[in-house]
A and B are shown apart, each in its own frame.
Chain A
Protein backbone atom coordinates (compact mmCIF):
# COMPACT_ATOMS: atom_id res chain seq x y z
CA UNK A 1 0.00 0.00 0.00
CA UNK A 2 0.98 3.64 -0.30
CA UNK A 3 3.51 4.87 2.24
CA UNK A 4 4.84 8.36 2.88
CA UNK A 5 8.20 9.32 4.33
CA UNK A 6 9.24 12.82 5.36
CA UNK A 7 12.89 13.84 5.21
CA UNK A 8 14.84 16.96 6.01
CA UNK A 9 16.96 18.66 8.67
CA UNK A 10 15.98 18.26 12.29
CA UNK A 11 17.52 21.57 13.35
CA UNK A 12 17.31 24.90 11.58
CA UNK A 13 18.31 28.39 12.64
CA UNK A 14 15.92 31.29 13.18
CA UNK A 15 15.28 33.41 10.08
CA UNK A 16 16.39 30.56 7.79
CA UNK A 17 14.25 28.52 5.40
CA UNK A 18 13.07 25.00 6.19
CA UNK A 19 13.03 22.48 3.35
CA UNK A 20 11.27 19.14 3.75
CA UNK A 21 10.52 16.40 1.24
CA UNK A 22 7.85 13.73 1.30
CA UNK A 23 8.57 10.59 -0.72
CA UNK A 24 5.60 8.53 -1.91
CA UNK A 25 6.19 4.79 -2.23
CA UNK A 26 3.93 1.90 -3.15
CA UNK A 27 1.86 4.04 -5.50
CA UNK A 28 1.91 6.99 -7.86
CA UNK A 29 1.81 10.62 -6.87
CA UNK A 30 -0.35 11.32 -9.90
CA UNK A 31 -4.03 12.18 -9.71
CA UNK A 32 -3.94 12.92 -5.99
CA UNK A 33 -3.77 15.95 -3.71
CA UNK A 34 -0.97 15.94 -1.15
CA UNK A 35 -0.81 17.95 2.03
CA UNK A 36 1.53 19.17 4.76
CA UNK A 37 0.38 19.41 8.38
CA UNK A 38 2.33 20.31 11.49
CA UNK A 39 1.92 19.78 15.22
CA UNK A 40 3.70 21.98 17.73
CA UNK A 41 4.87 20.38 20.98
CA UNK A 42 1.88 19.52 23.11
CA UNK A 43 -0.44 21.27 20.69
CA UNK A 44 -2.99 20.31 18.08
CA UNK A 45 -2.75 19.91 14.35
CA UNK A 46 -2.31 22.78 11.89
CA UNK A 47 -2.87 22.39 8.16
CA UNK A 48 -0.10 24.09 6.15
CA UNK A 49 -1.23 23.56 2.57
CA UNK A 50 -1.74 21.14 -0.30
CA UNK A 51 -0.56 20.51 -3.82
CA UNK A 52 -2.17 18.62 -6.68
CA UNK A 53 0.11 16.39 -8.74
CA UNK A 54 -0.23 18.87 -11.59
CA UNK A 55 1.20 21.63 -9.40
CA UNK A 56 -1.80 23.66 -8.26
CA UNK A 57 -1.59 24.69 -4.61
CA UNK A 58 -3.48 26.24 -1.74
CA UNK A 59 -2.09 27.39 1.58
CA UNK A 60 -3.22 28.18 5.11
CA UNK A 61 -3.80 31.96 5.05
CA UNK A 62 -1.87 32.35 8.30
CA UNK A 63 1.26 30.86 6.69
CA UNK A 64 0.73 31.78 3.05
CA UNK A 65 3.37 34.50 2.87
CA UNK A 66 6.09 32.06 4.02
CA UNK A 67 5.09 28.75 2.41
CA UNK A 68 5.86 27.14 -0.92
CA UNK A 69 4.84 23.58 -1.77
CA UNK A 70 6.15 21.96 -4.94
CA UNK A 71 5.95 18.54 -6.62
CA UNK A 72 8.37 16.39 -8.60
CA UNK A 73 6.37 13.65 -10.29
CA UNK A 74 9.50 12.05 -11.78
CA UNK A 75 10.75 11.34 -8.27
CA UNK A 76 7.30 10.69 -6.73
CA UNK A 77 8.00 13.45 -4.22
CA UNK A 78 6.54 16.70 -3.02
CA UNK A 79 8.26 19.32 -0.91
CA UNK A 80 7.66 22.07 1.61
CA UNK A 81 9.61 25.29 2.01
CA UNK A 82 8.88 27.53 5.00
CA UNK A 83 10.82 30.76 5.25
CA UNK A 84 11.66 33.27 7.97
CA UNK A 85 11.59 30.65 10.68
CA UNK A 86 11.04 31.44 14.35
CA UNK A 87 10.83 29.25 17.44
CA UNK A 88 7.07 29.09 16.89
CA UNK A 89 7.72 26.92 13.82
CA UNK A 90 9.21 24.17 15.97
CA UNK A 91 6.93 21.20 15.38
CA UNK A 92 6.49 17.72 14.02
CA UNK A 93 5.81 18.05 10.31
CA UNK A 94 3.62 15.46 8.61
CA UNK A 95 2.84 14.82 4.98
CA UNK A 96 -0.47 13.20 4.06
CA UNK A 97 -2.52 12.12 1.06
CA UNK A 98 -5.89 13.71 0.38
CA UNK A 99 -8.19 11.00 -0.87
CA UNK A 100 -11.60 11.43 -2.51
CA UNK A 101 -13.89 9.12 -0.54
CA UNK A 102 -17.56 8.94 -1.46
CA UNK A 103 -17.73 12.64 -2.39
CA UNK A 104 -15.62 13.81 0.55
CA UNK A 105 -11.95 14.51 0.93
CA UNK A 106 -9.99 13.13 3.87
CA UNK A 107 -6.36 12.54 4.78
CA UNK A 108 -6.19 8.77 4.58
CA UNK A 109 -2.44 8.10 4.50
CA UNK A 110 0.09 9.89 6.70
CA UNK A 111 3.84 9.85 7.04
CA UNK A 112 5.38 9.13 10.43
CA UNK A 113 6.36 12.77 10.81
CA UNK A 114 9.68 14.53 11.17
CA UNK A 115 10.63 16.72 14.11
CA UNK A 116 11.95 20.17 13.28
CA UNK A 117 13.49 22.39 15.93
CA UNK A 118 14.19 26.06 15.25
CA UNK A 119 17.06 27.19 17.40
CA UNK A 120 20.37 28.98 17.08
Chain B
Protein backbone atom coordinates (compact mmCIF):
# COMPACT_ATOMS: atom_id res chain seq x y z
CA UNK B 1 0.00 0.00 0.00
CA UNK B 2 1.26 3.44 -0.90
CA UNK B 3 1.35 5.74 2.13
CA UNK B 4 0.73 9.45 1.61
CA UNK B 5 2.29 11.89 4.07
CA UNK B 6 1.16 15.50 4.14
CA UNK B 7 3.05 18.35 5.75
CA UNK B 8 2.78 20.56 7.58
CA UNK B 9 -0.12 19.30 9.67
CA UNK B 10 -1.33 22.85 10.15
CA UNK B 11 -0.37 26.05 8.39
CA UNK B 12 -1.32 29.50 9.71
CA UNK B 13 -1.76 32.10 6.99
CA UNK B 14 -3.20 35.60 6.75
CA UNK B 15 -5.77 36.43 4.04
CA UNK B 16 -4.02 37.46 0.87
CA UNK B 17 -0.89 35.45 1.65
CA UNK B 18 0.40 32.42 -0.21
CA UNK B 19 0.15 28.91 1.20
CA UNK B 20 2.06 25.87 -0.02
CA UNK B 21 1.01 22.40 1.09
CA UNK B 22 3.12 19.30 0.52
CA UNK B 23 2.33 15.66 -0.05
CA UNK B 24 4.87 12.85 -0.25
CA UNK B 25 4.16 9.34 -1.46
CA UNK B 26 6.03 6.30 -0.19
CA UNK B 27 6.88 5.51 -3.83
CA UNK B 28 6.51 7.11 -7.26
CA UNK B 29 2.89 7.56 -8.31
CA UNK B 30 3.15 8.89 -11.87
CA UNK B 31 1.04 12.01 -11.23
CA UNK B 32 -2.02 9.94 -10.21
CA UNK B 33 -2.56 12.55 -7.55
CA UNK B 34 -5.60 14.63 -6.60
CA UNK B 35 -6.21 17.35 -4.03
CA UNK B 36 -9.47 17.87 -2.15
CA UNK B 37 -10.74 20.64 0.10
CA UNK B 38 -13.01 19.85 3.01
CA UNK B 39 -14.87 22.30 5.23
CA UNK B 40 -16.59 21.30 8.50
CA UNK B 41 -19.78 19.35 7.95
CA UNK B 42 -19.23 19.09 4.19
CA UNK B 43 -17.94 16.37 1.89
CA UNK B 44 -14.57 16.83 0.22
CA UNK B 45 -14.49 18.89 -2.97
CA UNK B 46 -12.18 18.02 -5.84
CA UNK B 47 -9.68 20.80 -6.56
CA UNK B 48 -6.86 19.26 -8.59
CA UNK B 49 -6.50 16.00 -10.52
CA UNK B 50 -3.56 14.52 -12.38
CA UNK B 51 -1.30 16.51 -10.04
CA UNK B 52 -1.73 19.82 -11.86
CA UNK B 53 -5.15 20.05 -13.54
CA UNK B 54 -7.79 22.25 -11.95
CA UNK B 55 -11.23 20.70 -11.67
CA UNK B 56 -14.21 22.46 -13.17
CA UNK B 57 -15.05 25.72 -11.42
CA UNK B 58 -11.91 25.85 -9.27
CA UNK B 59 -10.34 29.32 -9.12
CA UNK B 60 -6.97 29.93 -10.71
CA UNK B 61 -5.41 30.77 -7.33
CA UNK B 62 -5.26 27.01 -6.72
CA UNK B 63 -2.41 25.26 -8.49
CA UNK B 64 -0.86 21.84 -8.21
CA UNK B 65 2.61 20.66 -9.08
CA UNK B 66 5.20 18.02 -8.55
CA UNK B 67 6.17 14.66 -9.93
CA UNK B 68 7.46 11.28 -8.87
CA UNK B 69 6.76 11.03 -5.17
CA UNK B 70 6.64 14.75 -4.23
CA UNK B 71 3.65 17.00 -4.88
CA UNK B 72 2.46 20.43 -3.81
CA UNK B 73 -0.74 22.44 -3.69
CA UNK B 74 -0.31 26.20 -3.76
CA UNK B 75 -2.98 28.74 -2.94
CA UNK B 76 -1.57 31.97 -4.31
CA UNK B 77 -3.63 34.50 -2.36
CA UNK B 78 -5.76 33.05 0.40
CA UNK B 79 -9.38 34.10 0.55
CA UNK B 80 -11.58 33.71 3.61
CA UNK B 81 -13.39 30.77 2.01
CA UNK B 82 -10.11 28.86 1.58
CA UNK B 83 -9.61 28.14 5.27
CA UNK B 84 -10.26 24.41 5.40
CA UNK B 85 -8.56 21.02 5.50
CA UNK B 86 -6.83 19.82 2.35
CA UNK B 87 -6.22 16.18 1.46
CA UNK B 88 -4.06 14.62 -1.19
CA UNK B 89 -5.10 11.30 -2.69
CA UNK B 90 -3.33 8.87 -4.96
CA UNK B 91 -4.25 5.74 -6.80
CA UNK B 92 -1.99 2.96 -7.93
CA UNK B 93 -2.95 -0.43 -9.25
CA UNK B 94 -6.60 0.47 -8.62
CA UNK B 95 -6.08 1.07 -4.90
CA UNK B 96 -6.68 4.54 -3.47
CA UNK B 97 -5.12 6.14 -0.40
CA UNK B 98 -5.44 9.58 1.18
CA UNK B 99 -3.01 11.70 3.10
CA UNK B 100 -3.89 12.64 6.67
CA UNK B 101 -4.70 16.23 5.71
CA UNK B 102 -3.29 19.72 6.21
CA UNK B 103 -5.39 22.30 8.00
CA UNK B 104 -5.12 25.84 6.69
CA UNK B 105 -6.06 28.20 9.48
CA UNK B 106 -6.19 31.94 9.80
CA UNK B 107 -3.18 33.56 11.41
Contacts and interface: CB of A to CB of B under 8 A. Distances in A.
Contact of A58 (B49, B89, B95): B95
Contacts of B43: 94, 96, 110-113
Contacts, number: 69
A47 B96 contact: yes
B87 A45 contact: yes
A61 B1 CA distance: 9
Bin the interface of chain A by size.
20 to 34
19 contacts: A44-B87, A44-B100, A45-B101, A47-B89, A47-B98, A60-B95, A94-B43, A101-B49, A101-B53, A101-B55, A102-B49, A102-B53, A104-B34, A104-B49, A105-B49, A107-B34, A108-B56, A110-B44, A112-B43
Given A104-B53, A110-B44, 15 more contacts: A44-B99, A44-B100, A47-B89, A47-B96, A47-B98, A50-B96, A58-B94, A60-B95, A94-B43, A94-B44, A102-B53, A105-B91, A106-B34, A108-B46, A108-B55
